[in-house]
Structure 1
Amino acid sequence: MGSLNFLDRNITDLIETRCIDARRDVSRRLQTHSSLIQRLSLEKELEGHLGCVNALAWNSKGSLLISGSDDTRINVWSYGGGKLLHSVETGHTANIFCTKFVPETSDELVVSGAGDSEVRLFHLSRLSGRSEEHAPSAVFHCHTKRVKKLAVEVGNPNVVWSASEDGTLRQHDFREGASCPHAGSSNQECRNVLLDLRSGAKKSLADSPRQCLALKSCDISTAQPHQLLIGGSDAFGRLYDRRMLPSLTSSQKRMRPPPCVNYFCPMHLSDQGRSSLHLTHVTFSPNGEEVLLSYSGEHVYLMDVNAGDGTSMRYRSGDIPKQMNASPIANQVERSPSPPQISRNGVPQNTNISSRLRRCYELVQAAKKSLEGSNYLYGIEACNEVLDGRGPDIGPALKHECLCTRASLFLKRKWKNDAHMAIRDCNKALSIDPSSFRANFCMSEALLQLGKLKEALDYAMAAQNLAPSNSEASDRVKSIKEQLTQAEAEKINNAGTPKSDMRPGRVRSLSDIFDRSDVNSDASQDGPRSEREDSDFEEEMELDFETSISGDEERDIESGILRGCLNLRFHRRSDSAKDKDKSSTNGSCGLPSPSQSESAYQPEAMIDMKQRYVGHCNVGTDIKQANFLGQRGEYVASGSDDGRWFIWEKRTGRLIKMLAGDEAVVNCVQCHPFDCTIATSGIDSTIKIWTPCAQVPSVVAGGTAGPETADVSSVMEINQQKLCQNRETFLPFELLERRMHDFAEGTLYPFECAQS
C-alpha cells in the first residue's frame, strides 16, 4: 500500500501556497492534514473509570472532555494536562451510554443517558469535591427502554433530545420542569415525544413500516439545526425537519411515523430483509451536507444530504432490479462505437498530457498488475484514487478501463458486498461502452457470486455474442446453463419435502442456536439468502433466563470468577401469540392492520451511498461510532471489534491509518474541535489521547503494548471474516466470563457495550 504513488499532500506545500492563495480557513486545512494524520500516535491514557467507557464528547471550546462509563460515573477531564476535574456519581443504575455538555452554559451543565432508561442533568459548579455523589438537577424517566444517544443544539442551553430503544425520541426542556410527573399525579404522562417510531421500522424498502424502530443513534446538524438524523434497528437512516414535525405528544398512543425529508440506505442493503441489519451510529458532516451511517455486521457508508430527484444517488424500489437486468443493447451482436483506446502500455504518448494525468494512467496499470497477484486492496485503492481522488478529469477510455479493473479486483477479493460494488462499476462501464466485453463478462461473474443465475446467463451470453471466439465466455455460458438445470431438478425433488420440524413453542438449547451458525451467518452474504434470513425467527424469539447461582456456589477467590450454572432457553413464539400481539397493538394505537396499510403504501425514495469504508469490524458491540475528523471533515474514523481504530480518506475511501487502541474493542472516536487530537475509548477502562507525535509517518501505529506490527491487508481480511459471523459466535467467551461474578451480586446489567 505504501508504495503506491498517491496524490498525497505535504504540509510544506500548504504553507508555501499561503503566500499566493491566502485563505481564512488555513487552520481548518491544517487541523487534519494528511501529513499529521499519518503521524498520529498514542500520547497518553486517562485513568479514572472502573468499567467500559461508552461515551466521549468535547466541549465547544475544546478545553474539556467528558466521558461516561459502565461504572455509572461521569468524568470531566482537562484537555491540556489530562487532569480529572470532576467524577460525578450519577445515581444511574445501569451503564451510561451517552453524555454531553449542554451548550451556552459555560460548561456547567452536563447530561447523561443510561441503560436504566433515565436522562439526568447535573450542575458541575455545585459539586463540592472531585469525586462526589451528587443529586441531579433534573431526572427524566419517561423512556421505557435504554437511552442510547443524546443530542444538543448549538446555541440552545435549554433543550436536550434523547433517543431510546423504546422507539421514541423525546425533547426535554429544562424550563418546563426538572423531572417527570410523579406517579399518581393527574398529568402522569410526559408530553415530550418529538418522534414516535414505535411503528416505524421495516425490513426492506418495499415493506410498509409497522414494527418498533429501536433508536440507536441521533444527531442534530450544526450547520442547519432544524435537521435531525435518526438511526435505529433497521437499515434506513432518516432525516427529519424539526420545523415540520407535529406537536409534542405523550406515549399513551402509538402514532403514525411522520414523513421524512430523506431516507438513506445503500441500494444493495435496502431489500435484504434481514432483521439483524441495523445502524449503530449516524452523524452529520461538519458542513451538514453529508451523513455517515455505520452498520452492525456491515461497513460505514457516506451519503449526500441533498441528492436531488433524477440523480443517480436517489432510487426507488423499482430501480433495484434494473441494476442486475441485462439491457437490450447488451444482448445485441452488433458492437456500438467503443471509447478511444489508450496506448499499449497504458500510458498515452501525448507529450502535452499533464504529469497528474500521467500518474493516473500509471495507477491504473499498477491496479491491473495487482490482478495477477493477491494484493487486491493495493489495486482497488489505486482505482479509487483515479476515480474519486483530486486528480484531473479523466477521459471515457481511462474511466472505462479503471471501472472494469476495479470490478475485476472486487470479484477476486470477495469481501462482504464486493460483488455489489462490482455491479455498480460494471453498470457505469456499460454506460460508457454498452458493447464492452469486459464489463458484460464481469457483470456475469458478479451476478453468479450473488446466486442470480438467470441474470448472470444473460450477461454471459451478451459477452459471448461480443466475442464468439473467447473460450472463457463460452465456458461461462455452458457452466451457468448446467447450474440452472441442476437447480431446477433440485427444486422439483424438494417440492414435497417438509421445510423444517421447527414447531411453535419448541425449546431450543443454546447449542442448537450455535450449531446453526452456518445457516445464520452471512458467510455467503454475496450469495442467496438463507431460509433463516428470510424468516422472522430472530424477531420472534423470547429469552428465558435461568441461573442456579447462590451464595453456596463455588467461587475462584483469586480471579473472582463465579463457577456457576447459566442456562439460556430460546422459544419460538406461536403464530397465535404473534397474531394476538399484532391485534392488540393495532387496537391500542388505532393503526390499520398490515393487510389494509400495505395495499395503499408507496415506498419512499432513498438516497444511495457515494462512498464505502471497509477494513474494520462492527459486530460485537451496539454503540460503535463512525465520525468525521476535523472541521472540514476530510477524513472518516471508526472503532473496530479487533481493538483497533481506522482512518480513511473521505473522498476516496483509502485507508490512511490503522491504530491499536484497546485490548478488546474500540467503540468511541471523537476528534478535538480545533486541534489534531483524537480521543478513543472502548472495553478498556481508560481513554486514549492520540496526537501527531510520531517521528515518521506510517499507516499503522501501536498503543500501550508497543508498535503495531500486523500487516494491514491481513488485519482487514480477518475483520471481513468476522463480519460474516454471528454476534453469538463472535463475542469472546472471556468477555462473558469476566462479568460472571456480577450475577451473584445481582448487578449484571444488559451486556455492557454489546447488543441486546
Structure 2
Amino acid sequence: MEQWPFHDGNVHNLLVNRRIDFGHDVGHSLQMHSSLIRRLSMEQELEGHQGCVNAVAWNSNGSLLISGSDDALINIWSYSGRKLLHSIETGHSANIFCTKFIPETSDELVASGAGDAEVRLFNLSRLNGRGFNDGAITPSALYQCHTRRVKKLAFEVGNPNMVWSASEDGTLRQHDFREGTSCPPAGSSHQECRNVLLDLRYGAKRSLADPPRLTLALKSCDISSTRPHLLLVGGNDAFARLYDRRMLPPLTSCRKRMLPPTCVNYFCPMHLSDRGRSSLHLTHVTFSPNGEEVLLSYSGEHVYLMDVNHASGSSMQYTSGDASKLMTFTPVLNKLEHRPPLSGVFQNGLRSRGKTAAGIEKCRMLVEIAKRSLDNGTNIFHAIEACNEVLDGHGIDIGPTLRLECFCTRAALWLKRKWKNDAHMAIRDCHNARRIDSSSFRAHYCMAEALEQLGKHKEALDFAVAAQYLSPYDTMAAERVENIKKHLAAAEAEKSNKASDGSHKGEPRTGRVLSLSDILYRSEANSDALQDGPRSEREDSDFNEELELDFETLISGDEGRDVESNIFHGSLNLRIHRRGDSTRETGACGSPSSSSQNGVAYQVHILIFGMDCKWFKFPVI
C-alpha cells in the first residue's frame, strides 16, 4: 500500500531550509503544516458555565481566556494553569453573545454584549482579593442604545477608549468611554443616542443585483488590526461588507432611517450571491492578523477565506450574472490565464536556483497521487489538498498542460466527494480548465456532471453533447448524454403534470401565485417600513416576530375531498395578521376584506395535504 505523503512536504526539510529560505515565514508554515494539524487533539475541557458558551476570546498575549454564556456569566480562565480565575455575574437579563478584553488596559477592562440589547463594561481590578466565585459587580459603563440583541463587539488595536457593537436592530454603534458611562441619558429614549456609525436598517440584499431594502440584522463585525480604518460587517444576508470609516458620515441618531452608506466592497462566494431570500446568513466575519484576508462563516454552509486586495491580481471579482455565465455553454472561450504577478517568482530580486525544477517535479508527483486517489476512490480529501498545493503554491512555475490536468483532476475530486457546494467548486475548476483549452474533453464532461448534480439538466446536456463531440467513441460521454436526456424528460413531464393538475382545481387564477416565502418576505418588508419605534420586548431566541395565519375555504361537504387520499381540493384564502392586531376580518375567497391598518394581507391559492384548516401561529425568523 502506498504511504500517503504530506502534501506540503516534510517538517524536517522545512526546518533545515529555514535559514536558506529566509524570505518565507517558517513559523506560519509550521503552525499550519498538515502533519502537525493531524496531531491536534483536545487538551482539556474547562468547566465553569451552566449554559451554552457563545463567546470565547484571548487576551493580547494569550495568557488569559474570557468566555460568555447563556447563564449570563463571564468567566476568566488561566491558560497556563488550565483553571478558572474569576466568574462574574454580569447583570445581563439574557444570553451573552460576545465578550472581549479591551486592548491596552493590562487586561483589567472587559466588555460584553447580550440578548437584552445591552453593552456592559467591567473593571476586573475590583475583583482583587476575591475568590473565583466573585459574584455580581457593578458595571463601569452601561449602554442601552440598541433595541435588539447585541451579537458582536469590535475593538481597535491600541485604542482603549472605544468599543463598537453590532446588533440585530440593523445598527452598528460606537461607544466612547470618555464621553459617558451610560447611554441613553436619564429621561431620554434610545432614539436620541447619537452614536450610530452604520445604519443598515435598509441594508439587506436578496441578491447581488438587487438594491438593499430590508433591515440587515447584524451578526458580526471586525476592525482590521493593520488598517484600523477598515471595518467589516456581516448580517442576515449572504454579503459581508467592507467600509472605510474615514468615508462614513458623522455619528447620528436612529430617529430616521437612512439609506446605507456606500461600502468599499462586498464579499460573497459567487455561487451564494444569487440565491435570493433564504435561511442562509453570515454568522461570523473577521480579518486575518495581517489584514490581507477576510474569513466568512455561514449558517449551514462552509467557511470561506477571501482576499481583501483585489488589485493584487490573486482574487476573483465578479458581477451580477457571472454565476449563470459559468454554467452556460459557449463553443469557444477566450484563453485568458490568471497568473500571479512575476514578482512572486523572485526573492530579493533573484530567482532561487534549482527551486523551480524541484517545484515542478513535486507538482507532477502530487497530481499523479491525486489521480490515483481519484481512480481508487480513497483519500479524496487529501487528494484535493494536493491539487490545492499545486495550483495555489506552485501555479506560477507550472505550465498550462499540468495546470489543465490539475484543474480537471480537482473538479472530478469535488464531484466524487459531494460535500455541500462541491459541485459549484467543480464548475469553477472546469471553467478555468476551458479557459486554458476550450477543447478539453475532461473539462466538458466534468462540467456536465456538476450541472447535473445541481439539477440544471438543460445546461448539463449542452456540455455533455460537446464532450461527446470531442470524443465520439467514448462510451461514458454517450451514457452521460442519454442519462441527462432521461432526467430532462422526467423533469418536463413532472412540470407538465403539475400544471395540468392545477388547471382544473378551483377557480381560474390570473397572475403569478404567491409562495409562502413571497408572503413572508413582503410582510417583513412592510413591517420594516412601518415599524420604526422601539421594541418593548427583548427575546432570547432567534425568533423575532410572530404572525397569525387564517385560512378560509369554499369546500362544502365532500365535494372537494378525496376521502381515501385525505386531500382537500379547492381554493383557500390565506391572510396574515401581525401579532397584536385588533381585528382579524376575513372575506370570501377571491375578495378579501380589509384588515387593521397595520395588518398585512395577501390573497393566495393553495392546496393543503392531510391537514384540517384551522387557526395556528408560527414564528418568522
Alignment of 1:405-420 (within 5 A): 405-420=409-424
- State the secondary structure of the residue aligned to 1:105: coil
Aligned to 1:175: 178
- Aligned-residue sequence identity (percent) comes to 65
**2:111 is the alignment partner of 1:107:** no
Cα distance in 1 between the residues matched to 2:515 and 2:6: 44
Aligned to 1:451: 455
Cα distance in 2 between the residues matched to 1:417 and 1:121: 41
Aligned to 1:87: 87
Letter in 2 for 1:91: G
Aligned to 2:466: 462
**2:219 is the alignment partner of 1:216:** yes
Does the CA contact (< 8 Å) of 1:275 and 1:539 recur in 2? no
Match of 2:187 among 181, 184, 189: 184
Flag the 1:27–1:490 CA change in 2: closer, same or farther, 3 A: closer
- State the secondary structure of the residue aligned to 2:46: strand
CA drift of 1:427 comes to 0.7
Match of 1:256 among 243, 254, 259: 259
Letter in 2 for 1:463: A
Match of 2:155 among 146, 152, 156: 152
Does the CA contact (< 8 Å) of 2:100 and 2:110 recur in 1? yes
CA drift of 1:194 comes to 0.7
Cα distance in 1 between the residues matched to 2:448 and 2:11: 45
Does the CA contact (< 8 Å) of 2:171 and 2:218 recur in 1? yes
CA drift of 1:390 comes to 5.2
Does the CA contact (< 8 Å) of 2:152 and 2:220 recur in 1? yes
Aligned to 2:297: 294
TM-score normalised by structure 2 residue count? 0.74
Flag the 1:413–1:90 CA change in 2: closer, same or farther, 3 A: same
Cα distance in 1 between the residues matched to 2:254 and 2:230: 23
Letter in 1 for 2:402: L
Cα distance in 2 between the residues matched to 1:416 and 1:265: 16
Compute the RMSD of aligned alpha carbons.
3.6
CA drift of 1:227 comes to 0.6
TM-score normalised by structure 1 residue count? 0.62
Q: List per-residue Cα deviations over 1:134-166 (Å, max 9, x = no partner).
A: 111111011111111100001111110011111
Tell me whether 399-408 or 376-385 shows the greater mean CA deviation: 376-385
Aligned to 1:77: 77
Match of 1:494 among 495, 498, 505: 498
Letter in 2 for 1:437: F
Letter in 1 for 2:292: E
CA drift of 1:127 comes to 2.6
Q: List per-residue Cα deviations over 1:203-262 (Å, max 9, x = no partner).
A: 221222111111111111101011111111111111111111111111121111111101
Which blocks of at least 5 consecutive residues in structure 1 are unaligned? 331-335, 337-350, 503-530, 542-567, 582-750
**2:197 is the alignment partner of 1:197:** no
Higher relative contact order, structure no. (Cα contacts within 8 Å, ≥ 6 residues apart): 1
Flag the 1:484–1:56 CA change in 2: closer, same or farther, 3 A: closer
Cα distance in 2 between the residues matched to 1:533 and 1:433: 45
Q: List per-residue Cα deviations over 1:636-668 (Å, max 9, x = no partner).
A: xxxxxxxxxxxxxxxxxxxxxxxxxxxxxxxxx
Cα distance in 2 between the residues matched to 1:200 and 1:39: 44
Cα distance in 2 between the residues matched to 1:478 and 1:148: 51
CA drift of 1:483 comes to 3.8
Q: List per-residue Cα deviations over 1:463-522 (Å, max 9, x = no partner).
A: 2222223333233334434444444444344334449999xxxxxxxxxxxxxxxxxxxx
Letter in 2 for 1:422: A
Cα distance in 1 between the residues matched to 2:466 and 2:189: 73
**2:224 is the alignment partner of 1:225:** no
Letter in 1 for 2:418: K
Q: List per-residue Cα deviations over 1:355-381 (Å, max 9, x = no partner).
A: 543332232222222333332334323
Cα distance in 2 between the residues matched to 1:444 and 1:187: 56
Which blocks of at least 5 consecutive residues in structure 2 are unaligned? 336-353, 507-513, 525-544, 551-573, 582-618
CA drift of 1:20 comes to 4.5
Alignment of 1:263-662 (within 5 A): 263-308=266-311, 313-329=316-332, 354-375=357-378, 376-389=380-393, 393-498=397-502, 535=518, 537=520, 571-572=548-549
CA drift of 1:133 comes to 1.2
Cα distance in 2 between the residues matched to 1:181 and 1:91: 18
Q: List per-residue Cα deviations over 1:695-743 (Å, max 9, x = no partner).
A: xxxxxxxxxxxxxxxxxxxxxxxxxxxxxxxxxxxxxxxxxxxxxxxxx
Letter in 2 for 1:50: Q
Aligned to 1:124: 124
Q: List per-residue Cα deviations over 1:240-296 (Å, max 9, x = no partner).
A: 111111111111211111111010001011111142000111110111010110111
Cα distance in 2 between the residues matched to 1:452 and 1:254: 41
- State the secondary structure of the residue aligned to 1:441: helix
Does the CA contact (< 8 Å) of 1:182 and 1:188 recur in 2? no
Aligned to 1:520: none
Cα distance in 2 between the residues matched to 1:282 and 1:407: 28
Q: List per-residue Cα deviations over 1:327-377 (Å, max 9, x = no partner).
A: 1327xxxxx9xxxxxxxxxxxxxx999454333223222222233333233
Does the CA contact (< 8 Å) of 2:171 and 2:200 recur in 1? yes
Tell me whether 303-312 or 410-419 shows the greater mean CA deviation: 303-312
Aligned to 1:134: 137
Aligned to 2:57: 57
Does the CA contact (< 8 Å) of 1:308 and 1:314 recur in 2? no
- State the secondary structure of the residue aligned to 2:499: coil
- State the secondary structure of the residue aligned to 2:55: strand
Cα distance in 1 between the residues matched to 2:25 and 2:490: 63
CA drift of 1:308 comes to 3.5
Does the CA contact (< 8 Å) of 1:357 and 1:391 recur in 2? no
- State the secondary structure of the residue aligned to 1:315: coil
Cα distance in 2 between the residues matched to 1:328 and 1:364: 28
CA drift of 1:441 comes to 1.5
Flag the 1:9–1:411 CA change in 2: closer, same or farther, 3 A: closer
Cα distance in 2 between the residues matched to 1:439 and 1:186: 61
Cα distance in 2 between the residues matched to 1:187 and 1:391: 54
Does the CA contact (< 8 Å) of 2:145 and 2:191 recur in 1? no
Greater C-alpha Rg: 2
Aligned length: 511
Flag the 1:20–1:475 CA change in 2: closer, same or farther, 3 A: closer
Q: List per-residue Cα deviations over 1:553-611 (Å, max 9, x = no partner).
A: xxxxxxxxxxxxxxx99745966758x99xxxxxxxxxxxxxxxxxxxxxxxxxxxxxx
Cα distance in 1 between the residues matched to 2:20 and 2:221: 42
CA drift of 1:104 comes to 1.4
